[in-house]
Structure 1
Amino acid sequence: MTVEQQVDALTASVEDLKGAVVSKKATLDASVADAQLATAQAQIAKVNARSARDEAEAFKDAAYTAAQSAASAVAYQDLSAVALTKAVTAVDAFIYDTSKDSDGGAWRHRCAGTSWYREPLNTATRGARREFPAVAVIVAESNKVTIYDGDDPTLPMWIVFNGAVSHSIFLGYSSPGGFSVTMRDGHFCVGTTGISTNGSINGLAVANFVADTLSKYDEIGFAKSNQGIADRNDNAWSNGLGWWSIAKDPTKKIVNQYVNDVSLTVLPNAPLDPSTGLPLPTIAVATAGGVSVIKDDGFVANHNLLLSYQGVSFDDDNRLYYGTENSQFRFAEPSVWKTPSFTQSGSYRYKNLSVGAFPVINTSTSGTLIPPVGRGIDLAVAVKSGGVGVTHLRHTPSNASSSLVAYTAATYATGWLPGDIKGAFLADADETDLVSEDLAVNGSFGSDASGWSLGTDWAHDPVNQRLGRIGSTYHNAFPTATIAKLVVDQSYTMEVECGSGAGTIGYYTASGVYGALATGINRISFTYKGGNYPFFYSSSNERWIDSFKVFRSSHDRSVNADGKRPSDLIVNGTISREPALIGADLVAYGGFASNNYLWQPYNPDYDFGTGPFCIMAWARFFTGSNCVIASRTDYNPVGWGSDGWWTFGIRTTPNPYALRFRSYGVEVVGNRAIADNGWHFCAMTYDGSAARLYVDGDLDFSGARTINHVGTNTPDLLVGVGSYLGNITDPSYKLALLRIAATAPSSEQIRRIYEDEKALFQENAACTLYGASDAVTALAHDSDSGLLHVGTSAGRSVFKGLRRVANTTTPVATAIAAAGDLVVEQ
C-alpha cells in the first residue's frame, strides 16, 4: 500500500472515529440530561419522603394517643365497668402475666395432678376452666379474693378464695379486713389486716399453685398446711385444719401479723424449688410494726422501727422500697435487706430542708403513702391522704442529693428538679395574667379598723395608724375584707410590717402553717385554701402591726415553699400568661419590661459560695436581642463588682444571641444562636471548678472557672429582667419552668431533662393530672408499655414520661393494676 493510500485510510478512520465520538457525546449528553432530571426527581422524592416521614410520625403519635384513649374505653379493661355486672368493690388488684415467669408460664401445663386442677368446675368458687390462665386478673375485696380469667375478654371467674367462711383455711375469719395481693412463678401471696382469732388469720398467706401447697407467715412463725389449694375454703375451725394445729417455725416469723402490703421478686441465681423446678421467690411485707423480707432460703430479714409501713415494693434492680403513714419512704439495697436485721440504705421524706439532702414527696406532713411504682430507678409515688399530685423520681442510690424529682398536679407540672432544689417557678397551667395589685383592704390602718375582725384585746391606734395587741387574753385578728378578695388555690405573698415590743405576733396562712413575725418587714408566701386565712394572733404583751399588704405571686413549686418565707415570685406590673404552644397545658410567661417583671426579695438559699449550683429554664426568643432569663441584683448599675450577683440570658455580643452567664469577675458565653422563634432548654451548671452551658441537652460551653456567690450584699432575684431593670430590648420573648438549685446535674442528667421535657413544649401537650383534683387514689406502672396510670376522683391519667397521653373520666376509688396494655381499676 502506497503512502497516499495509507494516509487516505487513516483519514477515513479518523473521520469514522470522529463520527463515533460525536455519536457517543450526543448519547452522553442525553445521559447527563437524564441524570440531571433524575437528580431533580430524586431531590423532590427526598423532600416528599421526609414530608411523608414527618407525617407518618405525626400519624403514629396521633394513633398512639387514640389507641390509648380507645384502650381506656374498653369495658373489660376497666374494673369499674366490670363491677357493674359482678358487684365487685376492690381493695386491691394485680394483673399477673405468666409469660413473665421464670419459665415463661410453662408451669401452667404441668399441674394436672394438683387438687385445684381436679376440683369440680362451674361452682360458686371455681369457674369453667381447669388450666390456670395465661393472664390472670386478681381482685381483692373486703372478704374474698377472686382470680379472673384474663384470657377471656369477659373476665369470667376462675377461682375464689373466701374469707367470709368462718375460719377458712387460707384467709381465715369472717372479717379478715383489707387484703393486698401479688403473684409470680405460681406463688400467690395475700396479706391481711383483719382481727386475729386463735391464730387462724392475719399475716401472709401463700398458695403455691405448682406445688399445690398452702402456707402462712405471722409473728409467731411459719407453717405449711397439709391441705391442698382445693381445700382453701374449708372451715378450719370445725375440721381441725387451722394454723393453730400446726407447729410453726419461730426462726421464720415476720415482724408483725398485720400485713398492709406485699411485693414479690425472684433474684438472679435464686435456688430452685425441688418440688416445682422453679426459682424460689423473695417476698416482702409491710406491716403495722415494720418490714419483713422472706428470703429465698426461707429465712426472714426484719426492719423494725415500730412504725406502721403502708407500702412495699421491689424495683427491677431488686432494691426494696417501703413507706410509712407520715409520707416517708425508705429504700434498702439487696446487700442490706438480706441481713437478718436490716436498716435503710437511704430515705426520701417530706420537706427535708437540711441542705436538701434528699428529694421529697410533694405532700402534707401526714398521709397514707402509695408504694412507689416504676422500673429500676425511675419511680412514681403519691400519698392518698394529704397529698398533692404525683411525684416522679429519678433515683440515684449512691447520692440521693443528685437525684431528680418532678411534681405533677392538676394545675401545674414542674419538670425535673435537681436534688438540692432551691426554687421552681413558672410551672403553672393557669392562663390568667398576673397583675401587681395590693389586695389588702385597709392595710394602712388610717382612720379605723374597718375590714378587720378583731378579737378581745386587739385595738386600733388612730394616732400612730396601726393595729395591735394591748390586753392579756389570747385572741385573733382577721383581715376579713381582704380574705373575701382571695381566690382559692391562687398564690399570694403578704407583706406585714411589725413594730417592736415585748409581745409576739404570730400568723397562720393555712391550717398547720404558722410562724412568728419579726420586727420590720415580713414577706410570707402562701396559697389560699379557703377559710379565715391568713389571720394573726399574739401573746399577752403589747405588740403592733404597722402595715399589711397582699400581692398576687407566682408560686414556688419546690419544697422551700413552706409558707414561712418569701419563696414565691412577687408580680411587678403585668405579666402575661398564655399556652406555651396551641393547646398545651403549660403556660408561657411574657411581657417583660423595666416595669413588668417577677421578683423575690433576698433569699440566702441562693448564696452558694464557691459550691455547685445550676440555673435551668425554657425560653423562646423571637428576635435577635438582649434578653435576660433571670438575674440576682440590687438594681445598682455598677453592681457587677460585688459577690453574689449574676445574670443569665442572651446578648447581641460577644457571640450574637448565644447563652451568656455573667457573675462577679466571670463571664461564660456559648456558641449557638438561639433567637430563632423556637423553644429552647437553657441550662447553666457549675460544679465548683468548671462552668458549663447547655442548649437543648447539648454542651455549648465548658471551661474552668471560679464563681463566688457569697458576699456582703443582699441581692434580690429578678425574672425576665436584668441588673438595674435593664438589658431588655425584646419584650416579646417567653419563659417557662425556671429552676435554681444548689446541685450541678451531670451532662447525662441534662440530656435526660431535655429529652423528657421537650414533649411538654408541643402543640396540645398535656402534662397535668386530668380534672381538678390533686388527691391521688391509686398508682400503677405498665412495664410493657412504660405507661404510668394515676387515679383521682376525676378519672385515670395516663403518662408517657412527664406527658399525659390519655385519660378516662371514671373516678378511681382504691386501686389500679396495669400490665400488657390491660388495665383494671376500682
Structure 2
Amino acid sequence: MPVFNGRTYTAAMFSGADGYQYAALWDQFFSDVLVEIGNSAPSLVMQAVNALVATVQAYAAQALAAQQAAVAVSGLSNLNSFQGLLQSGAPLAVFDYDTTRDWDEGAWRKRCTWQSWVSEAASTTRGSRSDHPAHIRMVAVSGFVALFDCDQATPSMWMVFNFGGAALGSYNMAQAPQAIFARDGKLWIAAGGYGVIEIDFVADTAILTNATVSVRYNGGIAARNAGAGFGGATGRAVLTNTVASAVAATVFPGSPIDRATGLPRPTVAVGTGFYLDIIHPSGAVTYPSTSAAVTSVAFDADGFLHACDGTTVRVYHPATLAVTGFSPIRSETASGTPALLGAPTGVNGHAARSAIGLTLRAPDPINPAAGMVAYITASGNPGAGGGAFNTGWMPGDCRLAIASTNTGSVSAANIANWSGGATTGWSTTDGNLTLSTSGSDLQIAETASTTSASKAIYQLSGCVVGLVYLLVINMRRGTVATIMRFDVTDNGQTVQLANGSTSSTSASTIVVQFRATDTSPKVRINFDSPYTAGQTGFVTSLSVDLAEPDRSAYAAGMRIFGQQTRALIAPGSDVTYTGYIYGGYDERPGDLSVGTGDVCFIQPVITFQTAPSSRSTLLDLSAPSGTGAYIRLEINSSGIPQFAVSDGTNSAVAVDTAPLRNSAVTHFMGLKRGATLELWRDGVRVATANAAAVGSLSNSAAVVRRAARANETGNLDGGHIGLVNLTRASDYAPTPEQIAKIVAHDLKRMRGASGILPGTLSAVQALSHDPDTDTVYASKGDGTALLQDGIVTGWLSALSGSTSNNHIAVSARQGGYVIATANQAVASQPAITFRDAILDNRDKVAPIDPNRIVFPAMATTDATPTVIARLPMAEGDEVQLMVDVEAVEYGAAPTERMGYQRRARVYRLPNGNVTVASVQTLGTDYESATTTCDVTVVADTTSQTVCVQATGVAAKRLAWSTLIHINRAGATRYAA
C-alpha cells in the first residue's frame, strides 16, 4: 500500500469497493503525488517518477477491471448516464433518497452489519447487493413500494415492500400508499386509510401509527413480506385521523440522539384527513388550531413546515409545533398578501401548485406581507387573463403585473359604455325583479320573496374570443340586506368568466377583467339571501373595454387607448415590449392604496437607435385633472430617468445622472421607502431624494397609466423607447436583497431566457426541488418543466420508457430525477463523474451540533410573552444553557434594538418533568428604546421542552434571533 504525502492508497479505493468518488479520488491522488515528488531530493526524483508510473498503471488497470465487471452486469459503462424505465404499472408516489444529505452524510450505512436485511438472499423482492445504497429511488404503486439502487449507472431493484395480507405495509389490510419519504435510515409510507408506517433500517424494525394504535412489526425487515403482523405497543401517541395522505420529516437542532442507532430522532409531519399531525422525537403527537384535510407537507431548509389543504398553504415556525393548538406564522391563499396563483393543490419550500399554474415563493419569515411571489403558466392557462405568462417576482402587495407574451398590433375597442339609469340593454331572468330609472341610477327591485336568486342581465356584444376585457361597474346595495353581487358569463350563462360584489350602501367602483369565450357575454347582477320582497340595489355605470390583462391577484387589466404594437424583445424570448402609436396608452382606475406608506414602480424599457426628442412617461399614478397627489417614473427629454412623487403641494424627485443607452434593455425601479425616494437602474441605486416633507400620496381621482400622464394623451417617445411588458406596481418597497432577485430574473428574461411553462396544459400536478442544482421540477399532464429562479432550463416529455406524458409525481436529487407518469415510473441520472462533481463542489451537509444551536428568527408583534426557541429534554438530561438573544425592529428605520444573555440550569429526572433550576442575567441587557422587553428561560412540561421566551413591544414587529450553547452533564444522561 503506497503512501503519498502522508496518505495511504489501496487498490480497493480505485475499484469503487470503498465507495470513493472517481473525480475526487484521482484529483487527490495526483495532488499528493506531485507534493511527494516535490519533496524528494533531485537524485530521487526520477526514481519516484518511475515508481509513480508503475503505481498509476496498476490502479488504472484496477479501475478498468471494475468498469468492465460493471459492463458485464449492466450492459453499460460504469460511468454512463441513464434515462429510462424504472418501474412498470401505475405509480402513486415517488421519492429520490440521497443518503449523503442525512445527518451523518450516510455514514450509518456502514454500521449496518447485523440487521436481518443485510444477509437476506436475493429474490424477486430483494436485490443481490447486501448493504444499503447511498442513493435510492423509490416508487409506490398500488400493491407495493419498490426501492432501486442508483449508485451505479443503471438502477436495479434493491428491495420491495409488498402491501396486502399481514405484510409490513398492510396490517391485515390492503391500502394503497399515498406518499413516501426517507431520511436518516428511515422510510415513511403514508398508507391512506391505514395510517403511516415508519421503517427503520438501522433498528431493523417497523412501526405502524394510526388513529387507534401505534404498534411494532413482529419481525425484522427481512420478514417484511412474511405476514408476521403488528403487535407490541410502542408507547407513542396515536394520530388524530387514520387517513394519512402526506408525510415529511426533518431533524431540528437539539433533537435527542437515539442511543440505539446513533442518529437524531426526527420530527415527522403527517397530513391526515382531519388535521396536520406532528410526531415528535418523544413520540408525542400535536396538531394545530385549524382542522383541515392536509394533502401536502414539506419542511424547508430552515425547518419551517409548509402544509396545504387545497385552499390554503399554512407555514409553521419550528418553535411553535410542540404544543397542540399551534398556529401558523402565515397563511397563503389566492387572495392573500402576497397571493398565490389560484387555489393551492400542493406545496414545497420553494413553490405552490394549482390548476392555473405555478407560484414561486420567496417568503419573508418575519413579515409575511413583505414576501415575494412569481406566477408562471402555460398557454392553456384558463385564469388570470388566460394564456402563458411569467410575471417575474412581485414584491409584497403587488397591485399590477403586466406580463404580455402577445405580439402584433392592437387598437382600442369599447364594447359597452352604459350610464344614466336607462333600462335599455337590461333584462331579468324572471318576474321577481323589476328594473326602473332612479335619478341617474338603474334601480333593481325584488318584487317577491323567493328561495333562489333572480338576476338582472346586461347583454354585451362584439367581443373577440380569446381577448381580455376590463369591466368597470359602479353600484351600491341600497336596501339589500346582505351583499349585491355581479358576474360575467358566456352567452349561455354556463361559464363564469369573472365576478365581484359589494356590501356598501355607498357607490362602489369595482374593476374586474375577463377573457371572452364567445362574442356575446352577459353581465349578471343579483342579491344574496335572504331574497325578500322590497329590497333595492342600484347600478350607476358600466363599461367594458379591450384591455391588457393584469396578471396580479387583483386581476384589474389596463384599458387600451389608441394603437399599440408588440414585438419580442429578443430572438427566442417570450418577453414582449409595447410601442405606442398616435398617442396611445394603457389605463385603469388608480387602486393603489399608498397613503403615507411605501410604493414601488417597476418598468423595464428597450431603447432604439434614435435619440430622445421628448419626455417619456413610463408609469404614472395621478388624476386626469392634473391636480392632487401623483407618483411618476419617467425619462426626461434629455434621456435621463427620474422618479417623482407629490402630495399635491410638496414634491420630491430622484434624478439619475446618466442618460439611457441607445439600442439596449434597461431595468428601472422607482420606490418610496419611508421618507426616501430611490431610483434603481439595472439593480444599482443611482439616485435618492428626501421626501420627508411629502404627505399622503392617495388621490381618489387618480388613474394608473402606462405611456402617459393622466392629464395628457400618450407621450411615450416611440422612436426612442418601448415599454417591456414586465410592469409591476406594489404598495411595498422591496429590500435591496429582494431588488437584486427581481432584477436578476428580469434581465435574464429580457436577454432571451425562457420563462413560461412549456406544453399547453397549465395545471401543475407535482413539485420537487433539487438542492444540488437548485432546480424546481413542475410536473403537468403533458410533461415536467425544470426551472431555476423562474427561468425554464428544461422540458421533460415523451420520456424513454414511458407511454404517457401525464406526469403525476416527481422527486429530484443530484441532477437526476424519478417521475411517476400515468403508466410507469421513469428515472434519469447523470454520469457518475458528474454526480461526483456535484458532491465534491456542493456545501457539505453540516451535522447538527448538539452543543451550539442557531434557531431561525421569530417575530413578535406585541408585548405578549412568546416562545422564540425551544429544546426537547429527555429523561435524565442535565444541561446548562448559555442563551444569546438579539432583537431588532422590522423595517428600514428601526428604533428598537435589544440584546440579552442568560445562563440557565435545566434538568429532567427519570419519570419527571422539565425543571428550570435557575436563570441568571449575564452582563447588562441592551435596550435602545423600550425598556419593558425581556428574555427568560422557562419549562414547558406539556411538551417536555425548555423554552426561550421573549417579551416584545406593543404594536411593533420585532425579529428575534437566538443562539444557545449547551453544556451537557453526559455522565448522568438517562435518555432512552
Do the structures match in fold with TM over 0.5?
yes
Deviation at 1:802, TM superposition (A): 1.2
Consecutive unaligned residues in structure 2, runs of 5 or more: 1-79, 379-387, 490-495, 528-532, 799-804, 821-976
Deviation digits for residues 516-563 of structure 1 (CA, Å, limit 9, x no counterpart): 6999895632223647854324466677878754211112222222xx
Alignment partners' CA distance in 1, 2:183 and 2:129 = 20
User: 8 Å contact 1:178–1:192 — kept in the other structure?
Assistant: yes
Q: Match of 2:791, as an amino acid? A: R
SS at match of 1:177: coil
- Partner of residue 263, structure 1: 248
Alignment partners' CA distance in 2, 1:500 and 1:396 = 39
Deviation at 1:671, TM superposition (A): 1.9
Q: Match of 1:525, as an amino acid? A: V
Matching of residue 661 in structure 1 with residue 644 in structure 2: yes
Task: Classify 1:816/1:616 alpha carbon distance in 2 versus 1 (closer, same or farther; 3 Å).
Answer: same
Alignment partners' CA distance in 2, 1:297 and 1:492 = 58
Q: Which has the larger radius of gyration?
A: 1
Deviation at 1:441, TM superposition (A): 11
- Partner of residue 485, structure 1: 463
Deviation digits for residues 405-457 of structure 1 (CA, Å, limit 9, x no counterpart): 11111211111111122222x2122225432112359999999869x896557
Deviation digits for residues 291-349 of structure 1 (CA, Å, limit 9, x no counterpart): 233333444443352221112111111122222222x1222222222x23251341232
- Partner of residue 768, structure 1: 756
Task: Classify 1:651/1:441 alpha carbon distance in 2 versus 1 (closer, same or farther; 3 Å).
Answer: closer
Task: Classify 1:422/1:711 alpha carbon distance in 2 versus 1 (closer, same or farther; 3 Å).
Answer: closer
User: 8 Å contact 1:607–1:709 — kept in the other structure?
Assistant: no
User: 8 Å contact 1:182–1:262 — kept in the other structure?
Assistant: yes
- Partner of residue 393, structure 2: 416
Bigger shift: 668-677 or 204-213?
668-677
Deviation at 1:389, TM superposition (A): 1.0
The match for 1:572 among 536, 551, 561 is: 561
Output aligned runs, 1:427-506, within 5 Å: 427-440=403-416, 472=447, 475-476=454-455, 482=461, 485-488=463-466, 490-495=467-472, 506=485
SS at match of 1:99: helix
User: 8 Å contact 2:419–2:441 — kept in the other structure?
Assistant: no
Deviation at 1:228, TM superposition (A): 0.3
Q: Match of 2:465, as an amino acid? A: V
SS at match of 1:750: helix
Output aligned runs, 1:555-634, within 5 Å: 555-561=549-555, 567-591=556-580, 594=583, 596-603=584-591, 606-622=592-608, 623-624=611-612, 625-634=614-623
- Partner of residue 13, structure 1: none
- Partner of residue 199, structure 1: none
Alignment partners' CA distance in 2, 1:447 and 1:684 = 46
Task: Classify 1:520/1:100 alpha carbon distance in 2 versus 1 (closer, same or farther; 3 Å).
Answer: closer
- Partner of residue 798, structure 1: 786
Deviation at 1:789, TM superposition (A): 0.9
- Partner of residue 7, structure 1: none
Alignment partners' CA distance in 1, 2:573 and 2:667 = 17
Matching of residue 508 in structure 1 with residue 479 in structure 2: no
Q: Match of 1:601, as an amino acid? A: P
User: 8 Å contact 2:289–2:327 — kept in the other structure?
Assistant: no
Deviation digits for residues 245-304 of structure 1 (CA, Å, limit 9, x no counterpart): 323425x33333322211122334544333333333332222222223333344444335
Matching of residue 147 in structure 1 with residue 147 in structure 2: yes
Alignment partners' CA distance in 2, 1:800 and 1:678 = 25
Alignment partners' CA distance in 2, 1:526 and 1:769 = 23
Deviation at 1:136, TM superposition (A): 0.8
* TM-score (normalised: structure 1): 0.77
Alignment partners' CA distance in 2, 1:747 and 1:174 = 56
Output aligned runs, 1:334-483, within 5 Å: 334-337=318-321, 339-341=322-324, 343-352=326-335, 358-364=337-343, 369-373=345-349, 379-383=350-354, 387-410=355-378, 411-424=388-401, 426-440=402-416, 472=447, 475-476=454-455, 482=461
Higher strand share: 2
Alignment partners' CA distance in 2, 1:720 and 1:247 = 71
Task: Classify 1:262/1:726 alpha carbon distance in 2 versus 1 (closer, same or farther; 3 Å).
Answer: same
- Partner of residue 123, structure 2: 122
Q: Match of 1:380, as an amino acid? A: A
User: 8 Å contact 1:289–1:307 — kept in the other structure?
Assistant: yes
Q: Match of 2:515, as an amino acid? A: Y
Matching of residue 231 in structure 1 with residue 218 in structure 2: no
Q: Match of 2:400, as an amino acid? A: G
Bigger shift: 726-735 or 178-187?
726-735
Alignment partners' CA distance in 2, 1:131 and 1:139 = 19
The match for 2:775 among 780, 787, 809 is: 787
- Partner of residue 34, structure 1: none
Task: Classify 1:321/1:516 alpha carbon distance in 2 versus 1 (closer, same or farther; 3 Å).
Answer: closer
Task: Classify 1:703/1:519 alpha carbon distance in 2 versus 1 (closer, same or farther; 3 Å).
Answer: closer
- Partner of residue 330, structure 1: 314
SS at match of 2:414: coil
Deviation at 1:398, TM superposition (A): 0.9
User: 8 Å contact 1:632–1:718 — kept in the other structure?
Assistant: yes
SS at match of 1:246: strand
Task: Classify 1:657/1:212 alpha carbon distance in 2 versus 1 (closer, same or farther; 3 Å).
Answer: same
User: 8 Å contact 2:477–2:502 — kept in the other structure?
Assistant: no
* TM-score (normalised: structure 2): 0.66
Alignment partners' CA distance in 1, 2:510 and 2:266 = 56
- Partner of residue 47, structure 2: none
Deviation at 1:692, TM superposition (A): 1.0
Deviation at 1:161, TM superposition (A): 0.9
Q: Match of 1:171, as an amino acid? A: S
Bigger shift: 745-754 or 145-154?
145-154
Q: Match of 1:193, as an amino acid? A: G
Task: Classify 1:476/1:401 alpha carbon distance in 2 versus 1 (closer, same or farther; 3 Å).
Answer: closer
- Partner of residue 97, structure 1: 98
Deviation at 1:130, TM superposition (A): 2.4
SS at match of 1:659: strand
SS at match of 1:614: strand
Task: Classify 1:249/1:525 alpha carbon distance in 2 versus 1 (closer, same or farther; 3 Å).
Answer: same
Task: Classify 1:329/1:471 alpha carbon distance in 2 versus 1 (closer, same or farther; 3 Å).
Answer: closer
Output aligned runs, 1:615-694, within 5 Å: 615-622=601-608, 623-624=611-612, 625-636=614-625, 639=627, 642=628, 644-652=629-637, 656-664=639-647, 665-694=651-680
Deviation digits for residues 456-497 of structure 1 (CA, Å, limit 9, x no counterpart): 5779999x9999868847544656662x73424x32113457
User: 8 Å contact 1:290–1:304 — kept in the other structure?
Assistant: no
SS at match of 1:591: strand
- Partner of residue 718, structure 2: 731
SS at match of 1:806: strand
User: 8 Å contact 1:187–1:209 — kept in the other structure?
Assistant: yes
Identical columns (%): 22
Bigger shift: 282-291 or 766-775?
282-291
Q: Match of 1:166, as an amino acid? A: G
Alignment partners' CA distance in 2, 1:476 and 1:220 = 51
The match for 1:777 among 765, 783, 787 is: 765
Alignment partners' CA distance in 1, 2:264 and 2:794 = 38
Alignment partners' CA distance in 2, 1:404 and 1:215 = 40
Q: Matched residue pairs, number?
A: 696
Task: Classify 1:100/1:711 alpha carbon distance in 2 versus 1 (closer, same or farther; 3 Å).
Answer: closer
User: 8 Å contact 1:554–1:569 — kept in the other structure?
Assistant: yes
Higher helix share: 1
Q: Match of 1:431, as an amino acid? A: T
SS at match of 2:356: coil
